[in-house]
Amino acid sequence: MEYEGIVYRPPSEARSLIIQVTIGCAHNTCTFCNMYKAKQFRIRRMEEILADLEEAAKSRYASWIERVFLADGDALVVKTEDLLTILARIRELFPQVSRVSSYGTAQDILRKPEEDLRALRDAGLGIVYVGAESGDNEILRYIHKDVTAEEIAEAGRKLKRCGIQTSVTLISGLGGRGRVTRHALSCARLISEMNPEYASFLTLRLYEGTPMYDDVVSGRFERITPDEIVDEMELFLKNVDSPGTVFRTNHASNYVVLAGTLNDDIPAMLEKLEEAKRTHRYRVFRETGDLL
Ligand code: SF4
């Protein structure tokens, strides 16, 4: 099977069979994101998708496949009846698969009727990864997310009502200087309202060619320091109320690795942040194109 372009998937899908049902991201306007800029969005033809599944089923690793991730950027944009065809074929070819997942924008989730989401759950869609990025409408407007915090929260509640797990990603430092408090508090409010099964933060990294990179170069956006990122995280943890949410900051971009369950492990995670700040022990992440 040949993938088209670079394929991204959540860290927790590292062992999953990845099937591209779309190429690129239908939204593709977020000003910090460079993941799909080189791809012209399209939904792949059903014959191509099914051929990929059949090829994977013939491989010698087929019996080891337990999870399937539907790529690229927002597979939920695909019509429900087509997703159901794909999920049914996955079940036929890989009866041992316990979970199928995909990225999904809040817009895609809100567009689908609840009966569609329930049908997708019954057909095997177990979790949707939602890139919320922030809970603050001004920041969401600035990054061209084209969705409000209220809509993201409603999308999360809708998935929950339909029995599909949600994993929400936020971005530390996304508000820049002057918006640390509002970003932290709005993220805490959003997660509290959604009470997702999983939540995580990446740290803002900027790549040449993105509008936000240009904003930094021209001085229109000022990035915050690692100490301020930790302050922001502390404020988030002190204000979030989302019992049972599995929380992680273990992406390569995070300065301090946190892992725990909200709300029980908040005190231990705050202690870890204090310790990191006192000793200035931050992980360093460097990648071509990043400004730091
Ligand atoms: S952040 Fe997500 S929705 Fe926005 S352009 Fe990138 S892949 Fe698309």
Show the ligand 1 pocket: residues with CB < 6 angstroms.
Answer: 25, 27-28, 30, 33, 35-36, 73, 105, 131
Query: Residue 97 corresponds to which tokens in the numbers above?
Result: 């698969």
- The answer to the question of residue 291 being in a domain is no
- For residue 185, the domain's CATH number is 3.20.20.70
What are the pLDDT tens digits along the chain (292 aa)?
Answer: 889 999 999 988 999 999 999 999 999 999 999 999 889 999 999 999 999 999 999 999 999 999 999 999 999 999 999 999 999 999 999 999 999 999 999 999 999 999 999 999 999 999 999 999 999 999 999 999 999 999 999 999 999 999 999 999 999 999 999 999 999 999 999 999 999 999 999 999 999 999 999 999 999 999 999 999 999 999 999 999 999 999 999 988 999 999 999 999 999 999 999 999 999 888 876 655 565 4
- The answer to the question of residue 239 being in a domain is yes
- The answer to the question of residue 205 being in a domain is yes
- The answer to the question of residue 287 being in a domain is no
- The answer to the question of residue 288 being in a domain is no
Distance from Cα 287 to the centre of ligand 1, integer Å:
19
Q: For residue 82, what are the domain limits? A: 11-279
Q: How many domains does the chain have?
A: 1
- The answer to the question of residue 25 being in a domain is yes
Single-letter residue type at 216: V
CB atoms within 10 A of CB 138: 13
- The answer to the question of residue 292 being in a domain is no
Among 9, 36, 72, 109, residue to substitute to test ligand 1 (most atoms within 8 Å of Cβ)? 36
Residue nearest to atom 8 of ligand 1 (CA): 28
Entry pTM: 0.95
Angle at 260 between CA 256 and CA 264, to 5 degrees: 125
Closest ligand 1 atom to Cα of 25: 8
- The answer to the question of residue 97 being in a domain is yes
